[in-house]
Amino acid sequence: MGGKKTGPNPTDRGKGGVKRSLLTEGHGVPLGLVVDGANRHDMKLVRATLESLVGARPEPTVEQPQGLCLDKGYDYDEVRDIVREFGFTAHIRTRGEEAQDLKREAGKKARRWVVERSHSWLNRFRRLLIRWDKKPDHYIAFLHFACALIALRAAGLFG
């Protein structure tokens, strides 16, 4: 696989791969999406992902702050500064810390699983599971189409 926005995947013996950075709302409906090479660190995609947010967002207030849940891969001061710049309150927890909370409260789910579920929904579109498109614009267009379908299904407007 060639083309732009691909890179060697460090977990797959250096084969080409793609990384999707996804921003979702609380139920897993995609709101923003960025694609880059698999060798790119998650924290480097934060600004681009937040800038990819589609639609108007209500202004956060002291009474109604807007949280952004991130995992250990985003535990950097630079990420916290970017998140603050966009008006979000960062909730960054380590996996071990989260596991301890889950043990204390039975039936509670980790917040970041919402994004994992959204990635699973995207992977159900066979065309997106493996990137066959050489041109990044084509791949991104299909990703946006799949995100739109997911949003329509969540709204109950599409089967």
pLDDT in tens, 25-50: 888 899 999 999 888 888 999 999 99
Domain, as residue range, for 64: 7-154
* 70: in domain: yes
CATH number at residue 95: 3.30.420
* 67: in domain: yes
pLDDT value, residue 114? 85
pLDDT value, residue 148? 94
* 1: in domain: no
Q: 3-state class of 132 per DSSP? A: coil
**Residue 26: alpha-carbon gap to chain centroid:** 12
Residue of 93, 89, 119 lying closest to 29 (CA atoms): 119
* 142: in domain: yes
User: Domains in the chain: how many in total?
Assistant: 1
Q: Is the pTM of this model over 0.75?
A: yes
* 76: in domain: yes
| Mean pLDDT of the 7-29 span | 78
* 2: in domain: no
* 159: in domain: no
**Per-residue pLDDT reduced to its tens digit, 71-116:** 888 889 999 999 999 999 998 876 666 667 666 776 666 666 788 8
Residue of 2, 41, 1, 3 lying closest to 21 (CA atoms): 41
List own/partner pairs for 84-90 with CB under 8 A and 24 or more apart: 86/50, 87/59, 87/60, 88/50, 88/60, 89/60, 89/65
